Structure 1
Amino acid sequence: MVNNNQKDSSLPQWPEAAQTLMALMHAQGEVARLSEREQLFSSLLVSVNAVLWAFNWETRQVLYVSPAYERIFGRSAALLLADYNQWRDSIYPDDLEYAERSLAEVLHKGAVEDREYRIIDADGQVRWISDKCFINRQEEPGQPVIIVGIAEDITEKKQMETELQRLATTDVLTQSSNRRHFFECANREFEEARLQGAPLAFLLLDIDDFKVINDTYGHPEGDNVLQRIAECGRASLRRGDLFGRIGGEEFAAVFPGCAPDMAMQVAERLQQEIQRLSFSHGEQTFGITVSQGLTSLTPEDESLDSLFARADAAMYEAKRQGKNRIISA
């Protein structure tokens, strides 16, 4: 006879069943939370506008790249994971050697945080990348060397820096070097010429009767004259020569590696180009002339100031002699 009061030992006791059920529910909850965390992590990776990556140094294999890679580089992440050369092929040719060398430096430094190089995206546009990388140290010997990094698009920042540099070094009206930038560059050329024992010439140019032009035709026409003078300078000087506006109607030039006779030829070419200029104001037309003072580096010159002083004296001598001429000192 079966005793109905006897417990069936094949069934789990209620406390045990409850514990098992609670454990299953807890496990399901953990799975759900893990899934939520993975979804959150994936969402964060998608939203972050930077490329997270991991690279096996020994096998030259990209182990991971985040979704931003396809947005910033404009290339397939799957192709990159299959072939590391996809990264090399995206780099601007002039920057490839630096990008690879700076990546290798992480093996010795542990981290390289100042890597900046250019890439060419899928549309052929050049972009600037800031690509920090760190070595993932493995405690156990024989483990692969894994480099991890984060790459950001800094193109807008670079464009802003370039524009700020242009504004800081350029005369707004004539688009030639401003006084500060001109003399910074001129002093560097002076020191280099002295160090190398190379020739160097210095030129000052002043527009004749510029006040009369402003008073007769107005300041807008005077501005036009200044702009055309700057254009003549850019057209007449040699590649590597310096040219800038250093005062109201005064310009200066430096001719590195230029012997005195060649410097005179350049100054004469500039003088002729300026003499050919013609300006119209209403029914009136007019031309302009300039006076130039030219000098060359000598062994006695210890600073650019001495060349500037000689060229300045020569220029005023040209004024005294009737203007529209070049005086060499």
Structure 2
Amino acid sequence: MAKDLPPTFTDPPRPEAAQTLLALLHAQGEVARLSEREQLYSSLLDSVNAVLWAFDWETRQVLYVSPAYERLFGRPASLVLADYNEWRDAIYPDDLEYAERSLAQVLVKGTVEDREYRILNGAGEVRWVSDKCYINQQREGDQRVIIVGIAEDITEKKQLEGELHRLATTDVLTQSSNRRHFFECAQQAFDNARIHGTPLAFLLLDIDDFKLINDSYGHQEGDQVLQRIADSGKAVLRRGDQFGRIGGEEFAAVFPGCTAQMAEQIAERLQREIQCLSFSHGQQTYGVTVSQGLTGLTDEDETLDSLFARADAAMYRAKRQGKNQIVKG
């Protein structure tokens, strides 16, 4: 009986072996492609500076956070995956109620794209976060509510916004409110006082003989006087009062909820504070005085302009009566 001879390189491959080999090569190719795809996804997620996250609403479980979580929050991802309160506890206390309420709104709206709140990262730094969230598309029959989102660090943007707001509302020289911002705040205080029937006082202040200071000592010296007057105003006024430079050497203040008697006491303290200021130019020292016009809201006042006009008239009476005094209007 003839023995089977071993196959040689010239023997054609058996069909079963060829199919097995092709299947093996195909499988290896699929594995390689999947591995490359996973590496690509992993590389992309690692390079994205925003936190991608998924959250199970019913179980209060964080299902996924991308690698940026640890960079933004400064905490291990394993902790927040084990306990949602890790994320919740990182939210700045004053913003916690808003962050939770706005997250719940996604159940009604389907998407919430205007969530901004602060967090305290692992190093104790306050960071601003923009945290958009969406309801994930559910498969038919799946009752779970999965919320997905993207959280970005917007701290630099917020700082820039704050600086732009400061520049838009602040007098550059004195760092007090500029004219536009002062009158916007005064109008708001006036409207609130009218609506709620609460007292309101309005004060105008003008530096006496300021032109003489500029002419005698120079504008740089005049600028220093303006800065010191503004500092005095900010030191004397109460929390919630508004103080600003409304033009040249003229300042104004508004006192919400302040009776006429209390406003007069504040104006007198300011007068004394300014009288105590001392300036020097070369070997010469000098002081400054101010004239103030003070008035309060009455039932007849229908606009802020009427208070401003009355305080302005009182201030000019103070000038005519010898300066360095407070006149009520």
- Please say whether Structure 1 and Structure 2 have the same fold, judged by a TM-score greater than 0.5: yes
> What's the CA shift for 1:22?
2.0
Query: 1:137·1:145 contact (CA, 8 Å) conserved in 2?
Result: no
> What's the CA shift for 1:298?
1.0
CA distance in 2, matches of 1:149, 1:207: 57
CA distance in 2, matches of 1:171, 1:197: 31
**Equivalent residue, structure 2, for 1:308:** 308
Report SS of the residue matched to 1:245.
Answer: strand
CA distance in 2, matches of 1:217, 1:278: 14
> What's the CA shift for 1:143?
2.9
Report SS of the residue matched to 1:246.
Answer: strand
**Equivalent residue, structure 2, for 1:266:** 266
AA paired with 2:70? E
Structure 1 residues 202-233: Cα deviation after superposition (integer angstroms, max 9, x where no partner): 11000000010011111111111000000110
Query: 1:295·1:328 contact (CA, 8 Å) conserved in 2?
Result: yes
For 1:2-17, what aligned pairs fall within 5 Å after superposition? 2=2, 14-17=14-17
AA paired with 2:175? Q
**Equivalent residue, structure 1, for 2:131:** 131
**Equivalent residue, structure 1, for 2:54:** 54
**Equivalent residue, structure 2, for 1:185:** 185
> What's the CA shift for 1:261?
1.4
- 2:327 aligned with 1:327: yes
Report SS of the residue matched to 2:247.
Answer: coil
**Equivalent residue, structure 2, for 1:25:** 25
CA distance in 1, matches of 2:319, 2:4: 131
CA distance in 2, matches of 1:160, 1:300: 43
AA paired with 1:259? T
> What's the CA shift for 1:4?
7.2
Query: 1:52·1:151 contact (CA, 8 Å) conserved in 2?
Result: yes
CA distance in 1, matches of 2:26, 2:171: 72
> What's the CA shift for 1:201?
0.8
CA distance in 2, matches of 1:209, 1:233: 19
**Equivalent residue, structure 1, for 2:38:** 38
**Equivalent residue, structure 2, for 1:151:** 151
> What's the CA shift for 1:16?
4.1
**Equivalent residue, structure 1, for 2:161:** 161
**Equivalent residue, structure 2, for 1:290:** 290
AA paired with 2:72? I
For 1:183-262, what aligned pairs fall within 5 Å after superposition? 183-262=183-262
Worse-superposed segment, 205-214 or 106-115: 106-115
Query: 1:61·1:84 contact (CA, 8 Å) conserved in 2?
Result: yes
> What's the CA shift for 1:136?
1.2
CA distance in 2, matches of 1:277, 1:268: 15
- 2:82 aligned with 1:103: no
> What's the CA shift for 1:2?
4.0
Structure 1 residues 151-201: Cα deviation after superposition (integer angstroms, max 9, x where no partner): 000000000000100110000110100000000000000011111111111
**Equivalent residue, structure 1, for 2:84:** 84
> What's the CA shift for 1:122?
0.8
AA paired with 1:221? E
CA distance in 1, matches of 2:76, 2:4: 70
CA distance in 1, matches of 2:315, 2:94: 44
**Equivalent residue, structure 2, for 1:65:** 65
Report SS of the residue matched to 1:134.
Answer: strand
Structure 1 residues 245-270: Cα deviation after superposition (integer angstroms, max 9, x where no partner): 00010000001111111111111111
CA distance in 2, matches of 1:40, 1:251: 63
Structure 1 residues 45-86: Cα deviation after superposition (integer angstroms, max 9, x where no partner): 111000011111111111111100000100010111111111
- 2:115 aligned with 1:112: no
Aligned-residue RMSD, C-alpha: 1.7
Report SS of the residue matched to 2:134.
Answer: strand
CA distance in 2, matches of 1:239, 1:269: 15
> What's the CA shift for 1:3?
9.0
Report SS of the residue matched to 2:59.
Answer: coil
> What's the CA shift for 1:14?
3.1
CA distance in 2, matches of 1:238, 1:143: 56
Instruction: State the aligned residue count.
Output: 325
User: Taking structure 1 as reference, are residues 69 and 4 closer, same or farther at Cα in structure 2, changes over 3 Å only?
Assistant: closer
AA paired with 1:122? G
CA distance in 2, matches of 1:274, 1:159: 34
CA distance in 1, matches of 2:222, 2:4: 118
CA distance in 1, matches of 2:328, 2:286: 28
AA paired with 2:194? R
Runs of 4+ with deviation above 6 angstroms: none
Query: 1:186·1:254 contact (CA, 8 Å) conserved in 2?
Result: yes
Query: 1:106·1:135 contact (CA, 8 Å) conserved in 2?
Result: yes
> What's the CA shift for 1:137?
3.0
Structure 1 residues 12-54: Cα deviation after superposition (integer angstroms, max 9, x where no partner): 9634433332222121111101100000100111110000111
**Equivalent residue, structure 2, for 1:75:** 75
Query: 1:170·1:176 contact (CA, 8 Å) conserved in 2?
Result: yes
CA distance in 1, matches of 2:3, 2:152: 77
Report SS of the residue matched to 1:152.
Answer: strand
